[in-house]
Chain A
Amino acid sequence: MSFETFVTDKTGLQKFYEAIIEKNETYAPVEKFGNFDFKRITRLSECNPESPIEKTRSIKPLFFPRSAKVMKYVATSAGTEIAETDKDPLAGKRVIIGAKHCDARALQVLDKVYSWDYIDTDFRNRRQNTVIVSTRCDKAAIHCFCTSLDYDVETLDAMDVLIVNGIDGKIYIRAKTEKGNAFLKNFPTIHDSQLPENEAAPALKAQYEAFAATFRLQMNYREVNEKLSKVFDSPEFESLSSNCISCNTCAFVCPTCHCFKISDEKVKDTGVRYKSYDSCNNGYFTLMAGGHNPRPAKYRRWRQRALHKFVYYKERFGENLCVGCGKCTFACPVNISIFEVVNQVSDTAM
């Protein structure tokens, strides 16, 4: 389904953002110590919707918080009461501006695991109540490879509203979903500048082609999926992961990693149970009481990470559990690149 496209300029876009922020609970990339994280804002000046991709955290924590309270409880000799949990701070109607395409795509990938069998209603509600406004990148960063994966960055509909900085200097705004279409109707100043499809389409395409030409990294994901499924015993996993310090940063910044742990903290009678990010790179991740650990070696944990992303999740849910955003590689303190790992291991396949 295609929706109308509107055209504006830098001032018009700024006014559009300001109108969004004025009317909505809005989240946007806010700079701190040189990096950008999505925070609640009340003024456009607090944020940079075009923050550089390599310095911007994903929007995942707005849907799957880094650490969330499962519940509070009071446990005494008189009995145990599970106290009212706080109202979900992420469940209200809200808008995200400045989301990157890859991060928006990651939510589509996560929808699969959160909605099979047991439905995570918290995740679903947060998704349903959020309008995502995403600006297409103009240039790939050094570790980006989104155009090499199993989604079409050009026609992606993971965002509700798409913004494109045309190579002609004009700015194009287009709804990508029904939700986004309805949302744009709230902004009559934008709505006055409708562009016929025969003018909009070539402008968007030209920008995409210029953007797509800037990628250093390219691969054939089908080949990688196919080959990786045959290299479980490849010794390359060991050599490629030998530098890993098991810090788990890659998983914590990844927009698709979704492993978590459940932990209790109790002081005197009152306790809190948390659901927090965890990672398959942790040595204790699969360690069982009694000492048995199916993945006792670092290379096995790295293999799990690589194969979960490019083989297992694909088998199970039909998508790669990687969107090619490069965040893990930008953040890795020992310069391990998932792109290099999966491609180099694939090369060992017969």
Chain B
Amino acid sequence: MEQLLVPMICKIDKIIQETPDIRTYRLKFKEEGRMEKFSWMPGQFIEFSFLGSGECTFCIASSSTRKESFDCSIKRAGIVTADIHSGLDEGDEVGIRGPYGNWFPLNDLKGKNLLFVGGGIGLAPLRSLIQYCIDNRNDYKDFTILYGARSSADMCYKDEIKEWQANKGLRVVLTIDKAEETWKSNVGVVPKILEEVVKPVIENTKVITCGPPIMIKYTIQSLLKLGFADKDIITTLEMKMQCGIGKCGRCNIGSTYVCKDGPVFTNEQLKLLPDEF
């Protein structure tokens, strides 16, 4: 019954403690040969079941160009995510449905300067695209990553950020909200660092941003002030979802289904939606 909602079983290959409240779960399908058949695009999401606790929506935080497994970075924020953090260990099994939703407009990004602006756990969906673009580096021009977190301890993917910093083809700008003794980089909220430090080239640049709603709001304001066009600002929306396939009615904003028409939208598209997200 209800065939569309039955998940497939995945095994947790590895758990990485990213920050005090964020863990990355590296997953592989249990069924032989299933992982090879599973393909996704950067920006898509899955429904992740901790069977017995519930099902949650998470973006896939890694790129399909690195296909031996896939990552979900999960912040402890509610009932199921708390259960996931306390109840799941490496080797345990979970249910997965997907991939669902649209993805970042890869064709529109080709030949462009890329500016990624991420905050906190909002780097997760960007990381899928960042990895994808690094693996296809020749398709893009300048490549800038601005990432902010509340504190240095709250930064995700610390080891991978070091790799990005060592990569001569990337410019990485990091910031934290409040000064720390050992912190040598920028201090200040993301929009401020965007304007004062990154000072992005506007022409031929696409901005991809994700973070807490308040950060996205002020980042978009800054980008518009700097002269970016709405169509060149791309973000991915967070809405409560359950089915992920345009049926359960939960993620609707007006006549838009975030799970099907999104979660990736340009600011041009967001401006047409009723102010209810």
Residues of A participating in the B interface, judged by any CB pair closer than 8 Å: 68-71, 73, 75, 79-80, 82, 85-86, 88, 113-114, 116-118, 120-122, 232, 258-264, 266, 271, 273, 275, 278, 280, 285-290, 292, 294-295, 300, 304, 307-308, 311-313, 315-316
Contact = CB atoms under 8 A, between A and B. Distances in A.
A300 B78 contact: no
B238 interface: yes
Contacts of B254: 307, 311-312, 315
11 contacts: A70-B2, A79-B9, A80-B51, A80-B93, A85-B1, A260-B243, A261-B248, A262-B55, A266-B53, A312-B255, A316-B255
Given A69-B1, A80-B95, A288-B240, A118 B245 contact: yes
In the complex, which of the residues A70, A88, A313 has the most CB atoms of chain B within 10 Å of its own CB atom? A70
B134 interface: no
What is the size category of the interface that chain B forms with chain A?
Answer: 35 or more
B80 interface: yes
Contact of B2 (A275, A313, A315): A275
Interface in B142-160: none
Given A80-B95, A82-B6, A264 B247 contact: no
B246 A273 contact: no
Given A80-B51, A315-B254, 15 more contacts: A70-B2, A71-B1, A71-B5, A117-B245, A118-B247, A120-B247, A122-B1, A232-B274, A259-B248, A262-B242, A275-B2, A288-B240, A289-B56, A289-B79, A290-B78
Contacts of A287: 240
B93 A75 contact: yes
Contacts of A294: 239, 253, 276-277
Interface in B25-79: 30, 49, 51-56, 75, 77-79
B51 A75 contact: yes
Contacts of B255: 311-313, 315-316
B156 to A, nearest CB: 16
A141 to B, nearest CB: 27
B106 to A, nearest CB: 21
Contacts of B239: 286, 288, 294
Chain B: interface secondary structure?
loop
Contact of A75 (B3, B6, B52, B242): B52
Interface majority SS (helix, strand, loop, mixed), chain A: mixed
Contact of B213 (A116, A266, A285, A292): A292
B200 interface: no
Contact of A70 (B1, B30, B52, B276): B1
Nearest to B6: A71
B93 to A, nearest CB: 4
Given A79-B93, A294-B239, A289 B1 contact: no
Contact of A122 (B3, B7, B53, B238): B3
B109 to A, nearest CB: 25
Contacts of B3: 121-122
Nearest to A80: B93
Contacts of B52: 75, 264, 266, 271
A312 B257 CA distance: 10
B93 A275 contact: no
Contacts of A118: 4, 245-247
Given A117-B245, A258-B249, A286-B250, A70 B213 contact: no
B252 interface: yes
A286 B277 CA distance: 9
B81 interface: yes
B62 to A, nearest CB: 21
Nearest to A314: B255
Nearest to B214: A292
Interface string B117-161: 000000000000000000000000000000000000000000000
Nearest to B260: A117
A286 B55 contact: no
B3 to A, nearest CB: 6
Contact of B247 (A86, A121, A258, A285): A258
Contacts of A313: 255
A50 B212 CA distance: 56
A80 B54 contact: no
Contacts of B53: 264, 266
Given A286-B240, A312-B255, A80 B9 contact: yes
A290 B77 CA distance: 5
Residue of A68, A121, A312 with highest tally of chain B CB at under 10 A: A312
Contacts of B80: 289
Contacts of B1: 68-71, 85-86, 88, 122
Nearest to A114: B247
B270 to A, nearest CB: 13
Contacts of A264: 49, 51-55
